[in-house]
Chains A and B, each alone.
Chain A
Amino acid sequence: MKTADLIGGSSGIALGAYVLYEGSKMPADLIMKIGPSYFPDVLAIGLIFFSLILIIYALLGRAKGQAEAIRFKDKGIQRALISLLAIVAYAVLLDQLGYPIVTVLLVAGIMILLGKRSPLQIAGVSLATTFVVWLLFAKLLMLSMPMGILEDLV
C-alpha cells in the first residue's frame, strides 16, 4: 500500500495545487469578503494537508492494508482495460453509427472478452439486450436514442 498511498497523496496535492492556482485567478468579493474562490481554496488547502499526512504515514511505513499493484501482464487488468477501451469506443461511435449497431457490438464484444464462445448465445443476448433496452428507453420513456447511419431506415 506504500507506493499506492504515495501516488494517492501526490495526486491529492497536485489537485489541491491546481485548485489554488485557478482560484487565484478568480475575482475577489469586496463586500462579503468571500468570493467564488473562497470555498475551493479552503477545500484545496484541506486536501493538500491530508494528502501530506497520507504521504508522511506511508514514508514512516504506517500505510494501512494490502494493495495489489496494477500489473499490465495480469489477465484481469488486461480484461478491464480492454472493456474500458470498448466503452470509450461505444461513446465515440454512438452518434455516428447509431445505438443499435454499437450496442450489439459492445454486448457481443464484452461477452467474447469474458470468455463466451457460443455464437448462438452471443448473438441472442446481444440482440435481445439491444432490443429490450431500446424498447424501454424509446417506447416506454419516449426518449430518443441516436440511430446514426440507420436514421433513414427507421
Chain B
Amino acid sequence: MDFDFALLYHSFGNVMLDWHVLLAIFIGVTGGITIGALPGLTATMGVALLVPFTFGRPPVESLGMLLGIYCGGMYGGSISAILIRTPGTPAAAATVLEGYPMGQRGEAGRALAMALFASFSGGMFGALVMTFLSPYVAGVALEFSYVEYFALALFGLSVIISISGTSIIKGVMAGLFGLVLSTIGMDPISGYPRFTFGVIDLMEGPSFIPTLIGLFAVAELFSNIEKMGVTEKIKARIGQYFPSLADIKTSAPNILKSSAIGTIVGAIPGAGGDIAAFVSYAEAKRSSRHPEKFGTGLIEGVAATESANNACSGGAMIPLLSLGVPGDAVTAVLLGAFIVQGLQPGPLLYKEHMDIVYNVFAAMIVANVAMLVVGAFGVRFFARVIGIQKEILIPIIFVLSLCGSYAMRQNVFDVYLTIGFGVIGYLMQRYDYPLSPILLALILGPMAEANLRRSMVVSGGDWHILVSRPIAVSLMVLGVAFMVASVFNHKRIEKRLAEARLADTTP
C-alpha cells in the first residue's frame, strides 16, 4: 500500500480547519496532562474515563480527543515526577531518577521545560514513524488469512504475558483469566451462549468500556481510598517554559536515540511507556561520557525518559491501526473507542476507511503540537493541579466512572459490571497480578478463537492448516521464543528494575 501524501495534506485540513476537531484535541491534551500529572491517575484511566464522552460525536472529533489525552497523559506524568517525586503515570517512573534531584536543586523549571520539549520531540518522532510505516504494514497484512490472524493474536498474547508484571506465573494467570472472560457470550461461530448465567446483558460478553473503567479506574480509586496520603504542596518556582539552546544541544543525541527506542518498544504488543523509558534511561547512562553523574539530576536523563515514553504512543499505534492488535493498554482502550464508532482497526480499515486512518495520522501530529503549546503555557496551572485534594477528586472520578459506564447502553447492569471489575481489579493489583493482560486478552481472545475456528472450517478440521503459511509459523515461533526468553531473562530484568526502584526511593 503506497503512502498518499495528498490525502495526508487533506487530512491536516480536516483536523486543523474544523474548530470542533481542534477544540476536541486541545480539550483532550489539557485533560490528559491534568490526569497524567495527578498521581494515581494514569493515561489508561484517563482514556477509559473519557471514552464515554465520545459517544455520538463524529469519529475524527472523538478520536482526536482521545489521542490528545494519550499524548498529554504521557507528558503529564513527568510534572509530578519532577515536582513531588511521585510519577503521575507508571511511564514517568524513570523520570523521577533525574527530574526530582533537579527540582531539589531549584531547577524544576529547567527540568519541566526539557520534559516538555523531549515529550514533544519523542511524540512527534513516534507519530511520524506511525504515519509513514503503518500503511506498509497494513499492506502486508491485507494478504493475511485466518491462520495468520490466529498466529498474530497468539504472538500478541505471548508477548503481553511474558513482559507484564513481577511474576510470569501471575502474568499468565491474568492473561488466561482475561481469555476466559472473553469467551463469555455467544460463541463466534455457532452462536451458542456460553457462561451467560441466562443473563441477556451478557449475550455479547462483558461490555468492553464498563469492564475497563472497572479495572482501570474504580480499582485504582479503591486503592487510593485505602491508602489516603497527605496531598503535597508545591513549593518550586517555575520560571522557564522552553529549554535553553545549550540544554537542547546536550540532549539532542539522547532524544533522537530514545525516540527510536520508544517507538520500537511501543510497537511491540504489550510493552508500554514504562518499559520504553527504563530501557532508554539505561541506554543513555551506558553511552554517556559521565555515567557516574546519573542519578544526581542530569538533564539528559530527563530528555531520554520523556522522549522515549512519548515516542511509545506513536509506536503503539502502528500495530493497532495496521493489524488491529493494540501495542499497550491505552491503545487497547482506544481500540474500544474505534469499535464504539463502528470502526474495526486492522488492514481492512485502510481499505474501507482510508480517510479516517489519515485523519488519525494528522490528529496525532496535531495533538503533539497542541501538547507543546498547552504544556508550555499551562505548566504553572498543572503544577497547581497536583495539589488538588483527593477528598474532592475521588468522589468526582467515582461519578464519572459510574455514569460513563451507564451512558453507553443506558443500562444499570453495566454499572454493576464496572463495580464488579473494580473489586476484581483492586484485589488482583493488591496481590501482584498485572491488569493489562486481561484487557488485551479481552481483545485478542475473540480474535484468536474466531480465526482458529474459521481456519478449521476452511480446512475441514485439519490442524495442518496452522503450519501451512510461513508468516503464521514465524509469528508462532517468535511468540514461543518470547515466552522462553522471558522466563530466562525475567530474573535479570526484575533485579534491574528493583535496583532502579531502590535508587528511586532512597534519598
Interface residues of A (CB under 8 A from B): 1, 4-5, 8, 12, 15, 19, 22, 26-27, 29, 31-40, 43-44, 46-47, 50-51, 53-54, 57, 64-65, 67-68, 70, 76-77, 79-80, 83-84, 87-88, 90-91, 94-95, 99, 103, 106-111, 113-116, 121, 125-126, 129-130, 133, 136-137, 140-146
Check: B507 CB closer than 8 A to any chain A CB. no
Inter-chain contact A54/B399, CB cutoff 8 Å: no
The residues of A that contact B190 with a CB separation of less than 8 Å are 27, 29, 35-36
The interface residues of chain B lying within 8 Å CB-to-CB of A108 are 395
Taking a contact as CB atoms under 8 Å apart, the answer to whether A94 and B412 are in contact is yes
In contact, B395 and A125 (Cβ under 8 angstroms): yes
Decide: A47 and B194 in contact? CB cutoff 8 A.
no
* Closest chain B CB from A144 CB (angstroms): 7
The residue among B176, B228, B395 with the most chain A CB atoms within 10 A of its own CB is B395
Given A36-B194, A80-B225, A141-B57, do A94 and B406 touch, yes or no (CB 8 Å)? yes
Q: Give a binary string over B452-495; 1 marks a CB under 8 Å from any A CB, 0 the rest.
A: 11001100110000000000000000000000000000000000
CA gap between A133 and B166 in the complex, in Å: 38
**B contact patch SS:** helix
Q: A88-B419, A137-B407 are in contact. Are A67 and B169 (CB under 8 A)?
A: no
Q: List chain A residues, Cβ under 8 A from B400.
A: 133
Closest A residue, CB atoms, query B173: A50
How far is the CB of A117 from the nearest CB of chain B, in Å? 10
Known contacts: A36-B190, A50-B172. The answer to whether A22 contacts B195 by CB under 8 A is yes
Q: Are A19 and B180 in contact, CB atoms less than 8 angstroms apart? A: yes
Q: How does the 8 Å CB contact mask read for B64-95 relative to A, with 1 for contact and 0 for none?
A: 00000000000000000000000000000000
Q: A84-B419, A111-B391 are in contact. Are A8 and B402 (CB under 8 A)?
A: no
Q: Is the CB of B183 within 8 A of A76?
A: no
Smallest CB gap from B192: residue in A: A36
Cβ–Cβ < 8 Å partners of A129 in chain B: 395-396, 399
Complex CA gap A83/B399 in Å reads 12
Chain B residues within CB distance 8 Å of chain A:
52-53, 55-57, 166-167, 169-170, 172-173, 176-177, 179-180, 183, 187, 189-190, 192, 194-195, 218, 221-223, 225-228, 390-392, 394-396, 398-400, 402-403, 406-407, 410, 412, 415-416, 419, 422-423, 426, 430-433, 448-449, 452-453, 456-457, 460-461
How far apart sit A28 and B394, CA to CA, in the bound complex (Å)?
A: 49
Q: Is B391 a contact of A15 with CB atoms below 8 Å?
A: no
Find A143's partner among B56, B172, B194, B218 (CB 8 Å cutoff). B56
> CA A146 – CA B461 in complex, angstroms?
50
Residue numbers in A under 8 Å from B452 (CB-CB): 34, 39
Contacts of A90 in B (CB 8 A): 402, 415
